[in-house]
Chain A
């Protein structure tokens, strides 16, 4: 009976995994974890689990009937309970912060050829000149914006070159990010870009010039409309030319349902 008990436990685990996958797929919450192109594989995994559940039911029936001897390592089955337990106690949702301290940051996009950041020869005079240039900061307003998926052009702008965007007025939705390497009056309006799953998420974004005194919280969602100007800045000690949103307005914004950007969707 003890051996049949282990088989029953394995069936329970298989059923729990099946229910979890089915719930995530039918509710659409699978997109919290995976890129859309990976979803067909999850359906495949679900189908295999269903078949294994049916097979395990058959094995239990045979176990009770024939009292067959099978060695099953129980310690390993306990490990299967861990992810299920985590889901029940600390289920992530769309409000889980985007910018974890360890995520990698890509400034502008290097997906498309020609849209890479331009590394300039270190020229202290040029850098000083840029600092003295008048790039008006974007202003923070009190109104609140609603995320409009139809107006979300973030992915499209990522594919443009800095030169193509120069002097264009664009609107971006994203969350606020900054790290120690940024200048004092710079934040990033950013999104999380995913290739396969949330574990490989990288932060991509555009610089926004702001007044250092304004109150912008890390991970706060904003809508910013500004004019693109290129600016030479040091990043980890190396000078680059970045496109920067200037002379515009920032509105706090509701976070979208799906926060990720998917490349190769």
Chain B
């Protein structure tokens, strides 16, 4: 068993190195030849983008992990179920609107969601919370409004589609059980010497405050190892794609309404931009793409991208992650297409 596990680890390392080398080869073969930037400058540019993604994401990931750890230690399942409405649809709506008072970016949201699910939050509202909060929050909505001065309706449209999408996706994937969703967590011993952080525990409330504080630190440190590794891996892929895969390959494809929506969804996934900044980048695509496809960019990006995919793989099971990604893409495509058909005139 140990040699099998070691072989799997070695396979993963080899796979990662091959993937990285492939990205570099694709970039240098196709991408660098189209620009005047030399090899060393290209690598510097890759490093610049990689480190900027990590430096921006790390504080928010730490914040999310701390919140998740606090939830693990101090919050009980009873507390969570008490504040949520009983009606299933209202639960989804409530979870989707939490971002208005608790704005969290997509880097921090995954560890928090994992912590909530571990503490007994139903899957549907947890996923709706995870998908809606990076979109339906005051900071992102204000950025969107500022980025589209000639389309003031883009902001409410983004909020509405984000909300509807999150509720729909939460309802579609919400029937899964937490055992089918969460990855097996590493068994750890907390500072009180007992295994006390299972899904139904009360969080060792009889412990001293010092021990509870140490528990939070312990969870934070352990989760950082897991989440942080996937964040770095996702950032490497995202930076490589941004640096070396020519976007013009994709942007040259999108001509019709459907293909342009698909192209913009693909770009949103590949660029891995934070939801505060993506509106300004999306604005630059208005020269080449329809408003509906730009809307698709704005709702897919905060929900799922390369970086988030790997962070989800670190927290959720592969089958559930794949099912979630497919559901997100289908729902967002449908919403963008519907907006094009229903209010196509708005986009000009």
Residues of A within 8 A of B (CB): 10, 17, 21, 24, 30, 32-34, 38, 41-42, 44-45, 48-49, 51-52, 55-56, 59, 68-73, 75-80, 82-83, 86-87, 90-93, 96-97, 100-102, 104-106, 110-116, 193-200, 202, 218-219, 235-236, 238, 263-264
Residues of B contacting A70 with CB < 8 Å? 188-189
Considering only CB atoms, which chain B residue lies closest to A109 in the complex?
A: B149
Complex interface residues of chain B between 209 and 232 (CB less than 8 A to chain A): 214, 217-218, 220-221, 224-226, 228-229, 232
Closest A-B pairs by Cβ, 9 of them? A45-B59, A101-B35, A76-B229, A113-B149, A195-B277, A200-B277, A198-B52, A197-B52, A92-B48
**Residue B29 CB within 8 A of the other chain:** no
Considering only CB atoms, which chain B residue lies closest to A200 in the complex?
A: B277
19 pairs, CB–CB < 8 Å, chain A vs chain B: A10-B225, A33-B48, A48-B220, A52-B220, A75-B9, A75-B12, A76-B229, A77-B225, A79-B232, A83-B50, A87-B47, A90-B46, A92-B48, A101-B248, A104-B284, A111-B146, A195-B276, A199-B53, A199-B271
CA distance A4 to B44 in the complex (A): 36
Residues of A contacting B225 with CB < 8 Å? 10, 72-73, 76-77
Q: With both chains docked as a complex, state the minimum distance between the C-beta of B225 and any C-beta of chain A, in angstroms.
A: 6
Residues of B contacting A48 with CB < 8 Å? 59, 62, 66, 220
Contact A34 B149 (CB under 8 A): no
CA distance A75 to B278 in the complex (A): 32
Residues 177-191 of B, flagged 1 when their CB comes within 8 A of A and 0 if not, give 000000000111100
Contact B150 A113 (CB under 8 A): yes
CA distance A104 to B270 in the complex (A): 14
Contact A200 B278 (CB under 8 A): yes
Given A52-B221, A235-B287, A236-B288, A100:B280 Cβ within 8 A: no
CA distance A225 to B228 in the complex (A): 48
Contact A264 B56 (CB under 8 A): no
Given A30-B55, A41-B60, A77-B225, A198:B48 Cβ within 8 A: yes
CA distance A41 to B220 in the complex (A): 17
What DSSP secondary structure best describes chain A's contact surface?
A: mixed
Contact B281 A200 (CB under 8 A): yes
Contact A96 B48 (CB under 8 A): yes
Given A45-B59, A197-B274; 10 other pairs, CB 8 A cutoff: A76-B225, A80-B229, A90-B47, A100-B37, A100-B45, A104-B247, A110-B150, A113-B149, A196-B274, A238-B287
CA distance A102 to B284 in the complex (A): 13
**Residue B266 CB within 8 A of the other chain:** no
**Residue B300 CB within 8 A of the other chain:** no
**Residue B174 CB within 8 A of the other chain:** no
